[in-house]
């Protein structure tokens, strides 16, 4: 541990499983106080216990609900002070082609993968800007997009569109908040085995896709650690509006 995010108060959404859980562990190991958020509170409590109660705080929050998002920031601030680092990680996919998908599912995808990212980032930025330039210029927002925002992954049209929107939302917010010193970047992973992808990766479709990818392998959960830490750190002072692709060449398959 080198304390790359020492002194930061980080909030990670979707921390009850997969990448979000990993991001929370990594940020805490590198010195941040971490607020972990999701709907499954018992999982968050287990995670907070494993990391340590002095470094973590679990908040139950459905990030598609604006009032819950505001309450989450209130609770976080009360526990650790102003949140200066956000990892907008909560996300979902689907298993429907556009022709079989109903509008409610399309809206659910957009609501979580785009609208909630905007809502959580907006709440963080409002509070940072209100706190004044000295605080705001430490602001780091990392939106977890996907290589699916750059290439077309078959059968997940809504997901692809939502992740492309997430990446452009990131650039737009970065422009809007640049003068306040708040940096907004996207991190776009390739395939990592998590609850989101495991079933598909272990099936015929996943095996075929990975078999055709240049390195013929799925990334492990630690593959994003370094990119995440960099984007959350003071070292990324001049980096804003980017979309860092960490996909082990999968998008070139």
Query: Which spans of this chain sit near ligand NAP (rule: CB under 6 A)?
Result: 13-14, 16-20, 38-40, 61-64, 89-92, 112, 144, 146, 189, 191-192, 194-197
Query: Pick the catalytic residue: 57, 73, 159, 200?
Result: 159
163-170, long-range: CB within 8 Å, 24+ apart, which pairs? Answer: 163/113, 163/188, 165/110, 165/113, 165/114, 166/113, 166/114, 166/117, 167/143, 167/243, 169/114, 169/117, 169/118, 169/143, 170/143, 170/145, 170/241, 170/243
Q: Is 17 or 209 the residue whose CB approaches ligand NAP more closely?
A: 17
Q: How far is the CB of 8 from ligand NAP (least distance, A)?
A: 21
Q: Is 135 or 163 the residue whose CB approaches ligand NAP more closely?
A: 163
Q: Is 87 or 136 the residue whose CB approaches ligand NAP more closely?
A: 87
Measured between alpha carbons, how far is 38 from 176 in angstroms, rounded to an integer? Answer: 27
Q: How far is the CB of 133 from ligand NAP (least distance, A)?
A: 31
Q: Is 70 or 131 the residue whose CB approaches ligand NAP more closely?
A: 70
Query: By the 8 A CB rule, do 17 and 195 touch?
Result: yes
Pull the structure tokens for residue 3: 């304390």
Q: Is 159 a catalytic residue?
A: yes
Q: Is 107 or 179 the residue whose CB approaches ligand NAP more closely?
A: 107
What Å distances lie between residue 82 and 1, 32, 165, CA to CA? 24, 12, 28
Q: How far is the CB of 26 from ligand NAP (least distance, A)?
A: 13
Residue with token string 């990592």: 192
Backbone phi, then psi, for 31, in 5-degree steps?
Answer: 105, -5
Q: How far is the CB of 158 from ligand NAP (least distance, A)?
A: 12
Backbone phi, then psi, for 62, in 5-degree steps?
Answer: -90, 110
Measured between alpha carbons, how far is 111 from 118 in angstroms, rounded to an integer? Answer: 10
Catalytic residue IDs: 159
């Amino acid at each position: 541990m080198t304390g790359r995010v020492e002194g930061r108060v980080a909030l990670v959404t979707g921390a009850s499983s997969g990448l979000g859980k990993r991001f929370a562990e990594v940020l805490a190991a590198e010195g941040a106080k971490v607020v972990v958020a999701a709907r499954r509170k018992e999982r968050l409590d287990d995670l907070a216990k494993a990391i340590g109660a002095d470094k973590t705080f679990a908040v139950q929050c459905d990030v598609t609900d604006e009032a819950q998002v505001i309450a989450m920031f209130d609770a976080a601030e009360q526990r650790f002070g102003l949140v200066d680092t956000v990892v907008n990680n909560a996300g979902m996919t689907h298993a429907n082609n556009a022709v079989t998908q109903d509008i409610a599912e399309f809206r659910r995808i957009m609501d979580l993968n785009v609208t909630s990212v905007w809502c959580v980032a907006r709440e963080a930025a409002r509070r940072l800007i209100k706190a004044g330039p000295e605080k705001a210029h430490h602001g780091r927002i990392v939106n977890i997009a996907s290589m699916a925002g750059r290439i077309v992954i078959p059968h997940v049209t809504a997901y692809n569109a939502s992740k492309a929107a997430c990446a452009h939302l990131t650039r737009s917010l970065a422009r809007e908040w640049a003068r306040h010193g708040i940096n907004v970047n996207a991190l776009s992973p390739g395939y990592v085995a998590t609850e989101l992808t495991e079933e598909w990766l272990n099936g015929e479709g996943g095996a075929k896709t990975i078999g055709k990818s240049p390195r013929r392998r799925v990334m492990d959960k630690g593959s994003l650690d370094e990119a995440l830490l960099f984007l959350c750190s003071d070292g990324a002072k001049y980096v804003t509006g980017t979309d860092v692709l960490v996909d082990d060449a999968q998008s070139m398959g």
